[in-house]
Amino acid sequence: MPTSEASFPNDAGGDLADAIRRFDAARSRTITLTPRERHGIGMQSEKTLHAVLKNYIDADEDHQEIPVDNYIADIYHDGTITEIQTAKMGTMRAKLACFLPQYPVRIVYPIPAEKWIIWIDPETGELVKRNRSPLRGSFFHAFKELYRIRPFLGEENLSLELLLIDLDEYRLLDGWSRDKKRGSHRYERIPLRLRDRLVLTCPQDYMQLVPEGLAEPFTSADFSKAVGFSKKGVSTVLLLLTEMGVVERVGKKGRYYLYRVTQDW
């Protein structure tokens, strides 16, 4: 039966230390390094990152891959649904439209905090090189995907769990450039450790993303500088925060909109 209030297994304990402990346990249960090294990457039909996160949320297989209203829920337990979405959040719209009127739904979305790229020769399977990516992830990187489900973000039954994760990314050297890297295909992602976690259950929780001490009114450029995120990306963040009622536009300064935190908070 649907419930009116979510009770997610991964809220137990609630703090980051507990989440890290559960993440490490899920990683140990899911990843078998020796067979992977012996037989190559990606032998399972389910990708490793998705499998680790599913076991991080709920390791009980009786709660995993459950048919619910003509869809398969990643996890269904005690009337609540958890969906692990590692990419392309827009593909969830039909599921959300079906689930949210009846069930509390949490979307778990991983963000690479620090990433190492391991290149694979597609002909021999040899691991050729391991490079550290210069990119660093933050919770703000989730907003590009959240934009794709923006009509659902204000739904009472929807919550989000954003996870900053270090990982190894295996890619095939099959691209179109001379070094075969541009246009290459991602083969597998192996999570290494959980760095941080942000749970968003209601519009007030989004206030965690507004930096303290930011003078008002502020522009997108001010916000970008305060959080260390690109101006282009911040435009999407502020659009969604405005639609959620967390901030509001109060005028313009040149070509920039002026914002302030909504007084209701």
Asked if the structure places residue 99 within a domain, the reply is yes
Residue 135 sits at the vertex; the CA angle it makes with 129 and 137, to the nearest 5 degrees, is 125
Domain extent, residue 28, equals 9-201
- Mean pLDDT for the stretch of residues 233-262: 94
Give the model's confidence band at 45: pLDDT under 50 very low, under 70 low, under 90 confident, else very high. Answer: low
- Specify whether 192 is located in the same domain as 106: yes
Q: How confident is the model at residue 41 (pLDDT cuts 50, 70, 90)?
A: very low
Q: Is the pLDDT of residue 116 over 60?
A: yes
Residue 7 has pLDDT above 50, yes or no: no
Same domain, 196 and 217: no
Q: Residue 130's pLDDT is what?
A: 87
Q: Verify that 104 and 194 share a domain, yes or no.
A: yes
Instruction: Look at residue 215 and tell me if it is in a domain.
Output: yes
Q: How far apart are CA 11 and CA 197, in angstroms?
A: 11
19 within a domain of the structure (yes/no): yes
Residue 125 counted as domain residue: yes
222 and 236: one domain? yes
Measure the CA–CA gap between 146 and 160, rounded to whole angstroms.
10
Share of the chain above pLDDT 70, in %: 88
| 239 lies in the same domain as 139 | no
Under 8 Å between Cβ of 161 and 199: yes
Identify the weakest region by mean pLDDT among 8-12, 30-34, 238-242, 258-262: 8-12
Same-domain status, 162 and 221 = no
Render pLDDT for 87-115 as a digit per residue (tens, 0 to 9).
899 999 999 999 999 999 999 999 999 99
Is 2 contained in some domain?
A: no
Burial (CB count <10 Å: 0-12, 13-18, 19+), residue 181: middle
Helix (H, G, I), strand (E, B) or coil at 60: coil
Give the residue from 125, 126, 50 showing the smallest Cα distance to 85: 50
Quick count: other Cβ atoms within 10 Å of Cβ 36? Answer: 16
